[in-house]
Amino acid sequence: MSLEYAQRFDGITGSAIRDIFKLLKRPDIISFAGGNPANSALESDVISEFVVRVLKQNGTAILQYGQTEGYTPFRESAAKFFEHNGVFATAEQVLPVTGSQQALDLICKVLLNPGDAMLVESPTFLGAIQTFKLFQAKLYAVDTDEDGAIPELLEEKIKKYHPKLIYLIPTFQNPTGRTLSLERRKAIAKLMEKYDDVVLIEDDPYRDLRYNGEPLPAIKSFDTTDRVVYCNSFSKIISPGMRVAAVVCTEPTLMRKLVIGKQFADVHTPNLNQAVMDAYLREGTLMEHIRIISESYGRQMAKMQEMLSTFPKSVSYTKPDGGIFLWCELPEAFNATDLFQNALERNVAYIPGTNFYCEPDTHHNTMRLNFSNATLENIEIGMGKLRDLFIEAGLK
Amino acid sequence: MSLEYAQRFDGITGSAIRDIFKLLKRPDIISFAGGNPANSALESDVISEFVVRVLKQNGTAILQYGQTEGYTPFRESAAKFFEHNGVFATAEQVLPVTGSQQALDLICKVLLNPGDAMLVESPTFLGAIQTFKLFQAKLYAVDTDEDGAIPELLEEKIKKYHPKLIYLIPTFQNPTGRTLSLERRKAIAKLMEKYDDVVLIEDDPYRDLRYNGEPLPAIKSFDTTDRVVYCNSFSKIISPGMRVAAVVCTEPTLMRKLVIGKQFADVHTPNLNQAVMDAYLREGTLMEHIRIISESYGRQMAKMQEMLSTFPKSVSYTKPDGGIFLWCELPEAFNATDLFQNALERNVAYIPGTNFYCEPDTHHNTMRLNFSNATLENIEIGMGKLRDLFIEAGLK
């Protein structure tokens, strides 16, 4: 007899992207597929030093069970750090989590019943789509343009579908790299006042990687009714392998339930990992580290855009001010999902854009390119190969 | 307007024990309430050394995103380590998780629909009860005696309730300290062959903390139909704050779904934390460390039992061969939940046993005592105070 699995897994395969990443282990591949920091951006010496120090100063407390609510010094330093985004919270309003993906899992666990409606940007982060599907949410896509999600369309869909949750990545969005304009941030915060049975997840892991222009305040900074849950991660600016992110939730009952959800999901985020992030924040060197990696990433983005400017004119692409991704659209007659196999044969990889849409098997003319984890030389070589492939495929 | 939360949170408070732990922060309290290792058992120097080494040798890979399936060297060394429990698995059958609590969350996520039946020991680990309730399982308790869960009763309830899952802690059980006998391990493995639409979770975090007698093979060692999912944790033998446990699952489809569930829960368990556990296992010093801490814990258990032997004769208590807990029963007329307040006033704490039962507000005459995180002196003082309290309360 075979086992009967939970209904929430019906239609969940998790395979497309995972299979891509397995292919990418080949050392000869130039990959624009991941969402990784550059290896050179990972400060193993600094982290080693911080670990030695925190274990020496506070080894017993670090190695024992910690509070589900998080390691107090880190909650304090994270609260202070978020002020530069316009997010003013007390330490008690900060919940450290085991990567931002856990924030999504917990928020869904606390709020969603099967069949509940959710609004997401079109396109959006594929890991988020999968988590929402595991909670059996009905996903409705809200169209975006160069300035991000369109508030009028968002309101229309709020009225029509009565969603429990809205999920936005307003700054240097994954996958497009686009940023929600200041006016729209304010307009969306207003919508959250008007429709106060809806929670907005503001996922903001890329905001500190800005190469041009001035930072914009988080939507959370305009939140007057505690309906915005702000998620920030240290994966892109310190290390993804350490798995530390933090949620700011100013609605006390929601926070309490997130903590209970976390208690029965993983008890707490590893103390040592929280203490390392805390050391980065207290040391005061993080902003300088961000400045240094942003210089490199900015050059990598410029090189990728320079290469894209030599592509056939029918290929359009985004021109972000930061982040780690560019987004390309081919004419509708061309299929980036099929072309991916040809690209792999030439040892270049990207992610077919179809994976970033709620509606399966659509938008095959799109693709996501990551530039943070490729050298300038590999960007030149790899993008050159892609351009040649696209020209041979008949793009003009 | 207030937010509408998910139905799975109906009746979930998470409060009783959490509130107890908050009280326990008072430095003057002698606590037998937690489930912590002794502070002296936490080797911050060794862990510090391991971290420095793994970051030096492999910093980039450790700090980048890892595979959801886990850090390969750790999967290998964990698979090898589990052989001494009679569990023979390949590295691919080992899934590192962010503490055993995550194993419970993922197994439920993969298998349970709301309303599905589950069998648990009576009493059982309160964190497990809460996780199962969050997945809206219908919990049915199976009676236990000195030799653990009673297979005949288990089979009766399998037939009656058609459970999806059975949850057992066969070795030095939480909260009772009891161990399932060899005959019953074999009998329960046979039941799993007979009823092969049921999965058994074998939660085994205490087995290496044995102070008397010979180790028993895991139920998993008798599993011929891949229906036993074996969970082992490094929390009790290395460090709970590091949050590393590992699941052995030999059923490939179930394993694949656990990995997908984990991918969208926290992507992967922090690599550094897995690498530290791997270093412990490869270094070959873990068994010696376990021998040393077991000597202390054995003395602490003996002291607690010695003190219990001076209690009024109507107080019965378990006499385990290992683990970190003892379980006491008072005569039915006495209420350990009420007496807890009096104990706190005298600066002693335990956990009222009612929290370990699926049926709320029952078994108020029971209590759990932890001895691993108390010095011999504090055990003498604290247990003396409890004895005096119980005598004053009228126990004979």
- Dihedrals phi, psi of B358, to nearest 5 degrees: -65, -35
Does residue B163 contact residue B119 with C-beta atoms inside 8 Å?
yes
CATH assignment at residue B153: 3.40.640.10
SS3 content of chain B, % helix, strand, coil (to 5): 45, 15, 40
User: pLDDT for A168-215, tens place per residue?
Assistant: 999 999 999 999 999 999 999 999 999 999 999 999 999 999 999 999
Residue B259 and residue B160 in one domain: yes
Residue B265 and residue B309 in one domain: no
* Chain A residue with the nearest C-alpha to that of B48: A52
Domain end, chosen from A283, A318, A349, is at A283
What is the C-alpha R_g of chain B? 21
Query: Which of A23, A92, A98 to probe the B interface (max B CBs under 10 A)?
Result: A98
Q: Inter-chain contact B3–A47, Cβ cutoff 8 Å?
A: no
Q: Which residues of A touch B44 (CB under 8 A)?
A: 55-56, 59-60, 62-63
Note whether ipTM > 0.90 here.
yes
Give the pair of three-digit tokens for residue B150: 């009673």
User: pLDDT for B65-101, tens place per residue?
Assistant: 999 999 999 999 999 999 999 999 999 999 999 999 9
User: pLDDT for B262-274, tens place per residue?
Assistant: 999 999 999 999 9
Q: Inter-chain contact A266–B18, Cβ cutoff 8 Å?
A: no
**Position of tokens 């292919």?**
A23
Q: Inter-chain contact A101–B267, Cβ cutoff 8 Å?
A: yes
Query: Which of A8, A65, A106, A162 to probe the B interface (max B CBs under 10 A)?
Result: A65
Name the strand (E) or helix (H) holding B327.
strand B325-329
Chain B contact for A59 (CB, 8 A cutoff): yes
Q: What is the reported pLDDT for B14?
A: 67
Chain B contact for A257 (CB, 8 A cutoff): yes
Give B272 to chain A, closest Cα distance, Å.
7
DSSP-based three-state secondary structure for B31: strand
Does residue A196 contact residue A225 with C-beta atoms inside 8 Å?
yes
Q: Identify the domain containing residue A73 by its residue range.
A: 66-283
Q: What is the DSSP letter of B210?
A: B
Q: What is the DSSP letter of A40?
A: G
Residue B144 and residue B36 in one domain: no
Does residue B324 contact residue B32 with C-beta atoms inside 8 Å?
no
Other CB atoms within 10 A of residue B23 CB: 13
How far is Cα B36 from Cα B373, in angstroms, rounded to an integer? 6
Q: How confident is the model at residue B242 (pLDDT cuts 50, 70, 90)?
A: very high
CATH assignment at residue A319: 3.90.1150.10
In a domain? residue A61: no
Q: What is the reported pLDDT for B25?
A: 77
Q: Which residues of A touch B259 (CB under 8 A)?
A: 14
From residue A187, alpha-carbon distances to A149, A193, A213, A242, B223 in Å are 11, 10, 21, 35, 59
Residues facing B148 on adjacent strands:
B145
In a domain? residue A60: no
Residues 6+ apart with CB under 8 A from B392: none
Q: What is the reported pLDDT for B118?
A: 98
* Chain B residue with the nearest C-alpha to that of A106: B265
List all residues of chain A from 143 to 202 with a beta carbon under 8 Å from chain B: 164, 196-197, 199
Query: Which of A18, A64, A125 to probe the B interface (max B CBs under 10 A)?
Result: A64
In a domain? residue B318: yes
User: pLDDT for A264-278, tens place per residue?
Assistant: 999 999 999 999 999
Chain B contact for A70 (CB, 8 A cutoff): no
Chain A contact for B14 (CB, 8 A cutoff): yes
* Chain B residue with the nearest C-alpha to that of A104: B265
Of B240, B261, B271, the CB nearest to A65: B240
Q: Inter-chain contact B59–A44, Cβ cutoff 8 Å?
A: yes
- Under 8 Å CB pairs connecting chains A and B tally to 245
Average pLDDT score over chain B:
96
Chain B contact for A210 (CB, 8 A cutoff): no
Model confidence, pTM: 0.97
Q: How confident is the model at residue B178 (pLDDT cuts 50, 70, 90)?
A: very high
Maximal C-alpha separation, chain B: 64
User: pLDDT for B20-46, tens place per residue?
Assistant: 777 777 889 999 999 999 999 999 999
**Own/partner pairs for A122-125, CB < 8 Å, 24+ apart?**
A122/A357, A122/A358, A123/A175, A123/A176, A123/A327, A123/A353, A123/A356, A123/A357, A123/A363, A123/A366, A124/A167, A124/A169, A124/A173, A124/A174, A124/A175, A124/A356, A124/A358, A125/A169, A125/A174, A125/A175, A125/A203, A125/A356
In a domain? residue A186: yes
Residue A71 and residue A112 in one domain: yes
Q: Inter-chain contact B242–A272, Cβ cutoff 8 Å?
A: yes
Residue A298 and residue A256 in one domain: no
Residues 6+ apart with CB under 8 A from B56: A44, A48
**Position of tokens 């995550």?**
B102
Query: Which of B45, B72, B253, B272 to probe the A interface (max A CBs under 10 A)?
Result: B272
Q: What is the reported pLDDT for B11?
A: 84
Ranges of chain A with pLDDT below 50: none
Q: Inter-chain contact A101–B265, Cβ cutoff 8 Å?
A: yes
Q: What residue spans of chain B are helical by DSSP H?
A: 15-23, 44-63, 72-82, 100-111, 126-134, 151-161, 182-194, 252-266, 271-283, 286-308, 336-345, 376-392
Residue A254 and residue A117 in one domain: yes
Closest listed residue to residue B369, CA positions, set B324, B333, B316, B336: B324
Of B131, B272, B273, the CB nearest to A264: B131
Q: How far is CA B172 from the centre of its chain?
A: 9
Other CB atoms within 10 A of residue B15 CB: 10
Q: Inter-chain contact A7–B113, Cβ cutoff 8 Å?
A: yes
Does residue A202 contact residue A229 with C-beta atoms inside 8 Å?
yes
Q: Which residues of B touch A66 (CB under 8 A)?
A: 241
Q: Which residues of B touch A245 (CB under 8 A)?
A: none
Q: What is the reported pLDDT for A15?
A: 55
Tell me what percent of the residues of chain A surpass a pLDDT of 70: 98
Residue A298 and residue A206 in one domain: no
Residue B138 and residue B246 in one domain: yes
Residue A114 and residue A70 in one domain: yes
Residue A218 and residue A232 in one domain: yes
How far is Cα B210 from Cα B185, in angstroms, rounded to an integer? 18
Does residue A245 contact residue A205 with C-beta atoms inside 8 Å?
yes
Q: Which residues of B touch A261 (CB under 8 A)?
A: 9, 134
Using DSSP bridges, classify how beta strands B228-233 and B199-203 pair: parallel, antiparallel or unpaired: parallel
Other CB atoms within 10 A of residue B359 CB: 10
CA dihedral A252, A254, A260, A263 (to 10 degrees): -100
Other CB atoms within 10 A of residue A84 CB: 13
In a domain? residue B52: no
Chain B contact for A272 (CB, 8 A cutoff): yes
Residue A33 and residue A77 in one domain: no
In a domain? residue B57: no
Name the strand (E) or helix (H) holding B203.
strand B199-203
In a domain? residue B55: no
Using DSSP bridges, classify how beta strands B30-31 and B348-349 pair: parallel, antiparallel or unpaired: parallel
Does residue B103 contact residue B265 with C-beta atoms inside 8 Å?
no
Residue B169 and residue B259 in one domain: yes
What is the amino acid identity at position A118?
Answer: M
Q: What is the reported pLDDT for B363?
A: 97
Chain A contact for B90 (CB, 8 A cutoff): no
Q: Give the total number of structural domains in chain B.
A: 2
From residue B216, alpha-carbon distances to B143, B177, B222, B298 in Å are 21, 15, 12, 18
Q: Which residues of B touch A65 (CB under 8 A)?
A: 34-36, 235, 240-241
* Chain B residue with the nearest C-alpha to that of A51: B48
For B13, half-sphere exposure in the C-beta direction (CA atoms, 13 angstrom radius) is 8
Q: Inter-chain contact A109–B134, Cβ cutoff 8 Å?
A: yes
Chain B contact for A239 (CB, 8 A cutoff): yes
* Chain B residue with the nearest C-alpha to that of A163: B4
Task: Answer yes or no: is pLDDT of B155 > 70.
Answer: yes
Q: How far is CA A59 from the centre of its chain?
A: 32
Q: What is the reported pLDDT for A23?
A: 74
Q: What is the reported pLDDT for B26?
A: 82
User: pLDDT for B342-381, tens place per residue?
Assistant: 999 999 999 999 999 999 899 999 999 999 999 999 999 9
Closest listed residue to residue B396, CA positions, set B330, B328, B312: B312
How far is Cα A396 from Cα A140, in angstroms, rounded to an integer? 34
Tell me what percent of the residues of chain B surpass a pLDDT of 90: 94
Q: Which residues of B touch A118 (CB under 8 A)?
A: none
How far is Cα A159 from Cα A154, in angstroms, rounded to an integer? 9
Chain B contact for A7 (CB, 8 A cutoff): yes
Q: What is the DSSP letter of A37?
A: P
Give the pair of three-digit tokens for residue B382: 């604290």
Q: Inter-chain contact A4–B164, Cβ cutoff 8 Å?
A: yes
Count how many residues are written for chain B.
Answer: 396
Domain end, chosen from A283, A317, A343, is at A283
In a domain? residue B345: yes
Q: Inter-chain contact A267–B243, Cβ cutoff 8 Å?
A: yes
Domain end, chosen from B283, B303, B321, is at B283
Does residue B182 contact residue B332 with C-beta atoms inside 8 Å?
no
Q: What is the reported pLDDT for A1?
A: 64
Task: Answer yes or no: is pLDDT of B15 > 60.
Answer: no
List all residues of chain B from 310 to 339 with a beta carbon under 8 Å from chain A: none
Does residue B388 contact residue B350 with C-beta atoms inside 8 Å?
no
Of B65, B102, B257, the CB nearest to A5: B257
Give the pair of three-digit tokens for residue B210: 């044995």
Q: Which residues of A touch B68 (CB under 8 A)?
A: 18
